[in-house]
Every structure is written in structure tokens, then in C-alpha cells.
Amino acid sequence: MAKSHQTHIRVRGYHLDLFLHVNNARYLEFLEEARWSYFEDEALTPLFWQRGYGMAVVNININYRHGAVFDDDLVIHTGFSLVRQRSAVLKQVITLKNTDTVVADAEIVFVAVDKNSNKAVGFDDELKERLNSLLEKTA
């Protein structure tokens, strides 16, 4: 994912747990942080907002491969891996900075949710085209 979006996080004392590794739930906050940053940098959030849509995660499949410890520098790579009619898949990979060591990798499936009806809605053409263009960019 050489051309993918990158977010940098340094592991702090409050990220760790009993085993002195970053706690499994905390990684999901790291991934969410990276997604907001990515959506912001690609001006995606306003596209959802202006339609009255929120984004709802419907599935996360995450592999924890290498326990990150205090002071590690993490790089979170984020990009689209699939765009469907009503859902899209983001691929996120966390690596140790300047290495090939994968700390965790995850696929995040999300849908657009209409804030009034609180129901998932399909992506319209403009939205789908935009997501597909990002798909190509990171392919």
C-alpha cells in the first residue's frame, strides 16, 4: 500500500494494558483516527454530511500480528479495497515506522446511514464514483 494515506501515532503509556502491549480495543481507536484523517484529507466527510448521512461500521476483521509496546512509532496506512452498491471496504495496515513489521491489519466494512430514518442507504452515483476513484488511487 505504498501510495496509501498515512497516519502516525506514537505509543504512550495510556495505550497499554496488563500485558504491556497496546490493548486490542485501543487499536480500533487508532484505526478510527486514521479513517477520520483520511476522509478529511480526501474531502469525503462533507459528501456524506451534505446528504444527511452518517457512516456506520458494520464489520471489522482485524489481525493482531505484533504487539506494539511503549514508544513504538506506528504508521497506519488507509485505503479503499472494495466499493459495492451499499457498502465499501477500507483496508488498514499498521506498521512499525521505517520497517516492514506489520503490527495489525484490518478490513473495515461501512455503510451510509440516513440520519432521519436511521437506516442504511445505497451510495448514489456521485458518491460511488468518488469512492471508486479512491479505490483506483490505492490499488
Which residues are known catalytic residues? 17
Minimum distance from residue 136 beta carbon to a copy of itself (Å): 27
Report if residue 25 touches a copy of itself, rule: CB under 8 A. Answer: yes
Residue 48 binds to a copy of itself (criterion: CB under 8 A): no
Judged by CB under 8 A, does residue 82 bind a copy of itself? no
Instruction: Kindly tell me which of 75 and 113 has the beta carbon lying closer to a copy of itself.
Output: 113
Residue 13 contacts a copy of itself per CB under 8 A? yes
Pairing of strands 53-64, 88-96: unpaired
What's the half-sphere exposure (Cβ side, CA atoms, 13 Å) at 130?
13
Among 10-18, 73-81, 83-91, 94-102, which window interacts with a copy of itself (CB under 8 A)? 10-18
**65 sits near a copy of itself (criterion: CB under 8 A):** yes
- Residue 28 as a binder of a copy of itself (CB under 8 A): the answer is yes
Residue in this structure with the C-alpha cell 448521512, named with its chain if needed: 53
SS3 annotation, 13-62: HHHECCCCCECHHHHHHHHHHHHHHHHHHCCCHHHHHCCCEEEEEEEEEE
Task: Kindly give, in sequence order, each residue whose CB lies less than 8 Å from that of residue 88, ignoring residues fewer than 6 positions away.
Answer: 80, 82, 109, 110, 123, 131
Q: Which listed residue (6, 42, 48, 64) binds a copy of itself by CB under 8 A?
A: 64
Find the binder of a copy of itself among 4, 5, 7, 26 (CB under 8 A). Answer: 26
